[in-house]
Amino acid sequence: MREVCIFGVGMTDFGKFQDLPIENLARTALLNAIKDGNVKPKEIGVGYCGNMLAGRVSGLYSCPAEILFEQVGIVGIPIIHVENACCSGSNAFREAWISVASDLYDVAIALGVEKMTGRLPAPLVREKNTMDGAMGLVMPGVWAIRAQKHMEKYGTTIEQLAKISVKNHANGCLNPHSQYKKRITVEEVMNSPMICDPLTMLHMCPIGDGAAAAILCSADIAKRYSQNSIRVSGVSLTSGTYEYLRDFTFHDLEKRAAEEAYEMAGIGPEELDFAEVHDCFTIAEVIRCESLGFCKPGEYPILLDEGKWDLAGDFPINPSGGLLAKGHPVGATGVAQIVEVVQHFRGTAGERQVEGAKVALTHCSGGTYKGDTGACSVVILKK
């Protein structure tokens, strides 16, 4: 496999842009990435678009990827639409990486885009004729169960979970792309509307709109476009096992994905400088960081109290603000995490800059089936 680099990135602000079409979101992210990478659309050999809801929300039932790429002159090449729940964008990135690493193409582009507000409903729950839907096992319910189990097993408190929301909202205030730029307190998290016991509204990420794009090329031609390209060192994708009796406080598919990515990159978790993790709920940040090997099971809340995961701590988690503050336009999230890491490596992350960062990890997991997670993607980047 060839070494692959990222040389161009771009994204939109994340937020609720009810009157803004998905085409506008995609066009902005794509044009920003093309400009950043100093690349011509005709030089791109293949394109992948991660998106979940274009048909249901925006009416793009057929060929959404082709329609979105056409706006910026990316035509006549293989264009692939990738849908894998919250992993859609990160899976589009993985496919773009494979296409270059395999020596099939020299330049590839990954777009992640989602329009979750608008004129049409966007049901994110399973139908009632499935077992999960009939039992009410939708995302807030799944994560509330996981929170209760983690509390029972390790003594984690709801106040500790609230601190994660406080931390990530503080980071989001420093990110110009964030959906929410407002500092909150533990008390505000605790007193926000109850959604699914013990999780209140501010324990959960918002819905919203946004897009992000990344352009990749083989390392041997990277200097043709940029003197500041970023190496893609590890990429993995796993799926769930859907075993009913598994431990709800630990994610095996995330452990497997992390181990595969660490092996590919030739590092261990202790060598990471920071990470962007899929914190769709506060408890998700806990369980996923423990499953990714950042600490032992049950230790994340303890180290949180000590400040390890803070922006000024030893190992910042979600300096972007994470999904809790930056927002979670489903298909855009995975690629936006890549954009965030590139900004830190370039030293352009502003007030949230992780100084001296050279190795970082991004993680996305998505979907639910039999109470398990459908897919998990991990990417390791090196400066």
Query: 54 and 137, same structural domain?
Result: no
For residue 199, the cross-strand partners are 196
Q: Which long-range contacts (CB under 8 A, 24 or more apart) does 29-33 make?
A: 29/111, 29/113, 29/211, 29/212, 29/213, 29/332, 30/68, 30/69, 30/71, 30/72, 30/74, 30/109, 30/111, 30/211, 30/213, 31/72, 32/213, 33/8, 33/9, 33/109, 33/213, 33/214, 33/215
The gap from C-alpha 232 to its chain's centroid, in whole angstroms, comes to 16
Query: 236 and 226, same structural domain?
Result: no
pTM comes to 0.95
Catalytic residue among 86, 280, 289, 376: 86
Query: 178 and 84, same structural domain?
Result: no
Query: 219 and 87, same structural domain?
Result: yes
Per-residue pLDDT tens digits of the chain, which is 383 residues long? 899 999 999 999 999 999 899 999 999 999 999 999 999 999 999 999 999 988 878 888 789 999 999 999 999 999 999 999 999 999 999 999 999 999 999 999 999 999 999 755 544 555 555 555 556 667 898 899 999 999 999 999 999 999 999 999 999 999 999 999 999 999 999 999 999 999 999 999 999 999 999 999 999 999 999 988 999 999 999 999 988 778 889 999 999 999 999 999 999 999 999 999 999 999 999 999 999 999 999 999 999 999 999 999 999 999 999 999 999 999 999 999 999 999 999 999 999 999 999 999 999 999 888 778 999 999 999 99
Query: 361 and 217, same structural domain?
Result: no
CATH number at residue 38: 3.40.47.10
Question: Is residue 205 among the annotated active site residues?
Answer: no
Query: 246 and 226, same structural domain?
Result: no
Query: 97 and 149, same structural domain?
Result: no
**In the prediction, which pLDDT does 173 show?**
98
**In the prediction, which pLDDT does 260 show?**
98
Q: Which residues fall within 8 angstroms of residue 248, CB to CB, at 6 or more apart?
A: 145, 146, 149, 371
- CA of 229: how far to CAs of 19, 93, 266, 345, 348, in Å? 35, 16, 20, 9, 14
Query: 214 and 143, same structural domain?
Result: no
Provide the token pair at 261: 């990515």
| 279 vs 172: CA distance, rounded Å | 13
Domain boundaries, position 63: 4-122+208-230
- CA of 288: how far to CAs of 109, 135, 172, 280, 285, in Å? 28, 24, 20, 11, 5
Question: Is residue 328 among the annotated active site residues?
Answer: yes
Catalytic residue among 203, 328, 344, 363: 328
- CA of 27: how far to CAs of 225, 367, 379, in Å? 21, 27, 25
Query: 111 and 235, same structural domain?
Result: no
| 371 vs 145: CA distance, rounded Å | 10
**In the prediction, which pLDDT does 122 show?**
45
